[in-house]
Chains A and B, each alone.
Chain A
């Protein structure tokens, strides 16, 4: 199957700093990528849909000024957690949809980024 990478895999930062997480589709082009957040022992919650060349669509309750999404190319989407606070500590997972036709629009998930805000 197609491969999606995330960088970094782990990040620890101080409260008030901003953190950027990258999501890359390595062997396919992804016009649409998705960002999820997962708290310990909980399920994945969709945060936003990232569309190449246009503004992201945020789910209800997700602050767009807090979680900045940039999908500047067909293989890269970034999520920036601005002015991070301890409650932003979570596991952030991205997925990318392969629209090439070879995988029926299947979504492929990255390995996740664990953010810890001190």
Chain B
């Protein structure tokens, strides 16, 4: 399968808690990106981390990348009900055309 894996598949937390999602992939990459998708809607680009970077921050988001383990994690701190969505990692495949291969996704539910 071209897809990577994400865990957990679903995550349910209370507002204010932190949410951590993990992503594993299979190929060599140029970069790894995280996207959010609200139900039935388009994708929102959250953050991009390059293959030579190990950690990146953007607001309440923290992304790590371990190319030796072919894995990444997305941490959302101090979660809010508005963070409820599906989160996908996508790897920019270095084999050509800069194809994005998406992970299976994590469905996050943040309860007030």
Contacts and interface: CB of A to CB of B under 8 A. Distances in A.
A42 B2 CA distance: 14
Query: How big is chain A's contact interface, by range?
Result: 20 to 34
Contact of A43 (B3, B48, B98): B3
B81 interface: no
A76 B42 CA distance: 19
Contacts, number: 53
A34 B90 CA distance: 14
Interface in A15-65: 32, 34, 36, 41-46, 49, 57, 59-60
Interface residues of B, number: 21
Contacts of B41: 111-112
Contacts of B99: 34, 46, 49
Contact of B43 (A60, A93, A106): A93
B57 interface: no
Contacts of B98: 32, 97, 105, 107
Q: Name the prevailing secondary structure of the A interface residues.
A: strand
Interface in A58-82: 59-60
9 contacts: A43-B88, A49-B97, A91-B40, A97-B98, A107-B98, A108-B45, A109-B43, A111-B42, A112-B41
Interface of A: 1, 32, 34, 36, 41-46, 49, 57, 59-60, 91, 93, 95, 97, 105-112, 114
